[in-house]
């Protein structure tokens, strides 16, 4: 056996592809593409992107400036990949659609699945939608118009309209022959749906089970009768929960009268999960939506509202401090230490609030267990409050040579962390009951509560005990 020098990679490790080589966007490709765009070398641009997956083409366009993107799209428009429009950021998609001609966008919509076509067209202005729909053949136009008739972010918008449905009395051989002879099969599907004479789903049949059975076997005998249906008006977040809860690969979408009208597949649900998680993160940060690719003035306008709300909560906390201005004048140490109490309360409350918002989204926090979890969060707040009271109370007592000051700081810390644990859960739950998205408003409300309680507890105790 050949010895390997210490620290040197083994031969098998050398032969392993690097992580970046497993994906389309290597640094060398990005660099070459950017250089070609800068030189306005259209043949070179087309040559570089030809073998690249549509998702990676979208990433390449997202890395460019506005003018560079215009040059790149102009170079690619002759054989523009329609799939790019489904992967690219929403804000940039609108700009690319504006750059392409109506016929080019219409041709792209025809090539896309109905659900992907809706993704492209649903955010456009109504005149743009009407112009594009008029340029699309009737069959495809009807599918898009039906999709637009459903509520935004509903299963009806999310579903694909291409699926395989067979009657329960068919044999396996009939189903296989039907799929072989059909010229209009979906591009990808994982199970077929079994329907009754009124076209209502009565079962599902995974392709793997279909292929493992003999041709004479009747579909009814091998279908899965215990399955989940998705109402067309169901919110896409509820659809994502259904897939996560029951590990679904696909699910039939039904109309109000129970008829099968479409199918939702896991690849679409993955996009929903990402979008919903992204939306929650943005709302927790006080940002209405992703604005990375928007103009600076538009971004500032979008963020202004929640900054204004935060200003209002800060003024409220300042009014509490103002009530104790005489106390602060007599004991300057209070001004130095009081931000610690408010900050610790805010951070502790944010921890509880983040867990609560996520638990509400995944339906893990329910009326059944809310009181038990509330009690736990209050205990956690009290426990951490005692630990930090001992820590910071001791430090401040040594710092200012005043044990009473340390005691006041410690007591205020305990009070605020208990309150933070309590309201960190109560506020999201209350907003959920009021049908207000907790991710949007909970942060500002919680900050206001912990700041006011923190200052009030610390300064109030100081006025009672130290002066």
Q: Tell me the C-alpha distance between 422 and 377, whole Å.
A: 7
Q: What is the DSSP letter of 150?
A: S
Asked if 302 and 437 sit in the same domain, the reply is yes
Q: Tell me the C-alpha distance between 112 and 114, whole Å.
A: 6
Q: Does residue 326 contact residue 464 with C-beta atoms inside 8 Å?
A: no
Other C-beta atoms lying within 10 Å of the C-beta of residue 390: 14
Asked if 118 and 194 sit in the same domain, the reply is no
Asked if 86 and 111 sit in the same domain, the reply is yes
DSSP 270-303: HHHHHHHHHHHHHHHTT-SS--TTS-HHHHHHHH
Asked if 253 and 390 sit in the same domain, the reply is no
What pLDDT is stored for residue 109 in this prediction?
A: 87
Residue 260 belongs to a domain:
yes
pLDDT tens sequence for the chain (467 residues):
444 444 444 444 444 554 445 556 788 888 999 999 999 999 999 999 988 999 999 999 988 988 999 999 999 877 788 899 988 888 888 888 888 888 888 888 888 888 888 888 888 888 888 888 899 888 888 888 888 899 988 999 999 988 999 999 999 999 999 999 987 788 888 899 999 999 999 999 999 999 999 999 999 999 999 999 999 999 998 999 899 889 999 999 999 999 999 999 998 898 888 877 777 776 666 666 655 666 677 667 766 776 677 778 778 878 888 888 888 877 888 888 888 999 999 899 989 998 898 888 778 888 889 999 999 999 999 999 999 999 999 999 999 899 999 999 999 999 999 999 999 999 999 998 988 878 777 887 888 899 999 999 999 999 888 87
- pTM score above 0.85: no
Asked if 215 and 127 sit in the same domain, the reply is no
What's the sign of the alpha-carbon dihedral 228, 233, 239, 242? Answer: negative
Asked if 240 and 309 sit in the same domain, the reply is no
Burial 312-340 (b: 16+ CB within 10 A, else e): ebeeebeebbeebeebbeebebbeebbeb
Asked if 147 and 188 sit in the same domain, the reply is no
Asked if 122 and 170 sit in the same domain, the reply is no
What pLDDT is stored for residue 9 in this prediction?
A: 42
Q: Does residue 422 contact residue 377 with C-beta atoms inside 8 Å?
A: yes
Number of domains in the chain: 3
Residue 355 belongs to a domain:
yes
What pLDDT is stored for residue 427 in this prediction?
A: 93
Asked if 53 and 94 sit in the same domain, the reply is yes
What's the sign of the alpha-carbon dihedral 366, 367, 372, 378? Answer: positive
CATH number of the domain bearing residue 456: 1.10.357.20
Counted residue by residue, the chain has a size of 467
Q: Tell me the C-alpha distance between 92 and 68, whole Å.
A: 13
Asked if 104 and 185 sit in the same domain, the reply is no
Q: Does residue 317 contact residue 342 with C-beta atoms inside 8 Å?
A: yes
232: containing domain:
165-268
Residue 56 belongs to a domain:
yes
């Amino acid at each position: 056996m050949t010895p390997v020098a210490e620290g040197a990679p083994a031969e098998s490790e050398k032969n392993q592809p690097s992580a970046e080589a497993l994906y389309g966007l290597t640094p060398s490709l990005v660099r070459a593409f950017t250089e070609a765009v800068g030189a306005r070398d259209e043949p070179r641009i087309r040559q570089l992107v030809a073998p690249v997956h549509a998702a990676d083409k979208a990433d390449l366009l997202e890395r460019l400036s506005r003018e560079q993107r215009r040059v790149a799209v102009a170079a690619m428009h002759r054989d523009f990949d329609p799939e790019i429009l489904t992967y690219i950021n929403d804000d940039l998609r609108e700009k690319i659609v504006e750059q392409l001609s109506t016929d080019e966008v219409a041709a792209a919509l025809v090539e896309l699945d109905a659900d992907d076509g809706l993704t492209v067209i649903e955010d456009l202005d109504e005149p743009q939608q009407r112009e594009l729909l008029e340029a699309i053949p009737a069959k495809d136009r009807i599918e898009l118009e039906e999709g637009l008739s459903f509520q935004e972010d509903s299963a009806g918008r999310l579903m694909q309209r291409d699926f395989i449905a067979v009657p329960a009395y068919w044999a396996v051989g009939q189903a296989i022959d039907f799929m072989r002879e059909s010229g209009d099969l979906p591009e990808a599907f994982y199970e077929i749906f079994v329907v009754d004479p009124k076209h209502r789903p009565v079962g599902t049949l995974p392709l793997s089970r279909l292929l493992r059975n003999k041709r004479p076997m009747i579909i009814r005998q091998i279908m899965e009768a215990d399955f989940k249906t998705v109402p067309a008006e169901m919110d896409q977040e509820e659809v994502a929960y259904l897939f996560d809860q029951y590990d679904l690969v696909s699910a039939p979408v039904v109309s109000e009268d129970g008829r099968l009208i479409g199918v939702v597949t896991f690849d679409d649900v993955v996009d929903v999960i990402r979008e919903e998680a992204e939306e929650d993160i943005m709302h927790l940060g006080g940002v209405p939506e992703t604005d990375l690719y928007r103009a600076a003035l538009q971004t500032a306008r979008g963020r202004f509202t929640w900054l204004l709300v935060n200003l209002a909560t800060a003024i409220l906390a300042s009014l509490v401090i103002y009530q104790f201005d005489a106390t602060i004048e007599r004991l300057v140490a209070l001004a130095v230490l009081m931000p610690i109490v408010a900050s610790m309360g805010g951070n502790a409350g944010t921890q509880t609030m983040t867990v609560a918002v996520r638990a509400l989204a995944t339906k893990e926090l329910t009326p059944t267990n809310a009181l038990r979890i509330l009690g736990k969060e209050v205990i956690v707040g009290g426990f951490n409050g005692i630990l930090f009271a001992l820590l910071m109370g001791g430090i401040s007592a040594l710092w200012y040579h005043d044990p009473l000051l340390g005691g006041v700081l410690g007591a205020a810390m305990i009070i605020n962390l208990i309150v933070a644990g309590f309201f960190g859960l109560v506020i999201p739950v209350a907003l959920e009951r009021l049908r207000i998205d907790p991710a949007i408003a909970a942060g500002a409300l919680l900050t206001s509560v912990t700041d006011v309680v923190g200052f009030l507890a610390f300064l109030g105790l100081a006025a009672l005990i130290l002066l």
